[in-house]
Chains A and B, each alone.
Chain A
Amino acid sequence: MIELYDYELSSDAYKARLLLALLGVAWTQRYVEYYPRRQHRAPEFLALSPRGELPVIVDDGTIVDDAQNVLVHLASRHDPTGRWYPQNDAGLTSQVSTWLAFAAALTPTASAARLHDGLLYHHIDVDEARRGAHEQLAVLDEHLWFNEDAGWSWLCTVDQPTIADIACFPDVILAEEGGIELRTYPAIRRWTDRVKAIPGFIAMPGIFPA
């Protein structure tokens, strides 16, 4: 039994919902009102995960936190095909790790700009957040362009999407809600189309389905 501590508008919680949908795994929602009540910093939630961030899953009694780590856990435990988190090829596993770290680094940039614009987090330095996001998106677009040129559709050099794609997709596509236009990143726009076309894909508010 999987319980997901979830908030609809959280891009990190959406990573977990998206992978659960793609894996076809059943789960139960434990709703945490991130905004405006900030329940993720309430004592009951901090008792579960002292980091005070969404998402958290409780899987048969095991508590797992950190959005990227939740993806690693779900794919390791609930994907019998092993394709979402390939672990029998060290080079590939390392590529996945790199892009999981890249996804985490979008939190203070693209994700922060969105919280500033959408949820009125006005203490955020939005110009600095957007500047950082553009630097990262330039790296991502270049990577995806050369991958496409070599015949690869995804972040890693494998012919199927991995949790690396699931981890990066939400904050990249939602960046536009933070005033960061994706128009000048054409390889990113093609990749987001491909992610949306993965069988079983689900959207969230702010993301249009294919």
Chain B
Amino acid sequence: MHGTSRWFPVIRSEEIVPRHIAFVQLLDEEIVLWRADDGALNAWENRCPHRGIRLSIGTHAGSEIVCRYHGWRFASGSGSCTLIPAHPSQVPPKAARVRSYQIRERYGFAWIALGDVEGEPSLPELDGLPHLTLRSMTFAAAAADVAATLASEPGIVVHDPYRAVWERMGDAAPMLLLLQPESSAMTTLHAVAGNDLTGAGRLAFLRAHNAWCKEIRPRIVSEESRSAQASR
């Protein structure tokens, strides 16, 4: 699957709460995100280098993640093993290190790039504007199928396979719709609007977007059924 050389938003920054191990997936890679007590954000492969157990079932110990199985501890930043409880006096081998991914925080999201990437996450439409992130929603469909549904909505312009802009009329600011391909059959839709609504207006906006996501869900259909429809 292509897409390793770009930044994808994977979660709203504020959902990576203290002492929590957030769990996402991008292009079939399972990833854990966690913030150390000093604020450093880590994005790691969801796999313990010891026996491959998922770190998402481990515990967050402040500046380390502790694996559920044999208690190996891995440090924020480097991902290096700091302690093997069965051999506490032994210096852990260099190879005992969790794979980490490039991560950035911008526009209210954590962004991950799986491979080499040029530049920084960028949403030029929102530069100079405030940004309000909305509730993300996961669909059991390929990114291309979600994008096709977005393209059929009035007012939405799909810019590339993973990015669409909803130009809102009047004084309303634009909204960016960003697709996170979890796998070939699952996609998460993130959204950020260029407004600074507060209070009841903000809540109504969040609720309306959430309702819209649920409304488009049944309209997202596979490419096969789209082409069958077109040839009819």
Contacts and interface: CB of A to CB of B under 8 A. Distances in A.
Q: Do A and B bind each other?
A: yes
Interface of A: 142, 145-146, 149-150, 183-184, 186-187, 189-190, 193, 208, 210
Contact of B188 (A145, A184, A193, A210): A184
B17 A190 contact: yes
Given A208-B68, A210-B59, A186 B210 contact: no
Contacts of A189: 20, 22-23
Range, interface on chain B: 20 to 34
A183 B57 contact: no
A193 to B, nearest CB: 6
B59 A190 contact: no
B20 A183 contact: no
A184 B59 CA distance: 19
Task: State the 6 A-B residue pairs at the shortest beta-carbon distance, nearest first.
Answer: A184-B138, A183-B23, A193-B20, A145-B135, A186-B15, A190-B20
B25 interface: yes
A167 B57 CA distance: 22
B206 interface: yes
Contact of A183 (B15, B25, B68, B206): B25
Contacts of A193: 19-20
Contacts of A149: 203, 206
29 contacts: A142-B135, A142-B210, A145-B135, A146-B135, A146-B206, A146-B210, A149-B206, A150-B203, A183-B23, A183-B24, A183-B25, A183-B30, A184-B138, A184-B182, A184-B186, A184-B188, A186-B11, A186-B22, A186-B23, A186-B136, A187-B15, A189-B20, A189-B23, A190-B17, A190-B20, A193-B19, A193-B20, A208-B68, A210-B59
B15 A190 contact: yes
Nearest to A187: B15
Q: Select the residue from B25, B135, B136 with max chain A CB neighbours within 10 A.
A: B135
Nearest to A150: B203
Contacts of B138: 184
A157 to B, nearest CB: 14
A193 B16 CA distance: 12
B136 to A, nearest CB: 8
A149 B19 CA distance: 18
Contacts of B57: 208
Contacts of B20: 189-190, 193
A184 B186 CA distance: 10
Interface string B130-161: 00000110100000000000000000000000
Contacts of B136: 186
A50 to B, nearest CB: 40
Nearest to A197: B19
A184 B136 CA distance: 10
A183 B23 CA distance: 6
Contacts of A190: 15, 17, 20
A176 to B, nearest CB: 9
Contacts of B182: 184
Contacts of A142: 135, 210
Given A146-B206, A149-B203, A186-B22, 14 more contacts: A146-B207, A146-B210, A183-B24, A184-B186, A186-B23, A186-B136, A189-B20, A190-B17, A190-B20, A193-B19, A193-B20, A208-B57, A208-B68, A210-B59
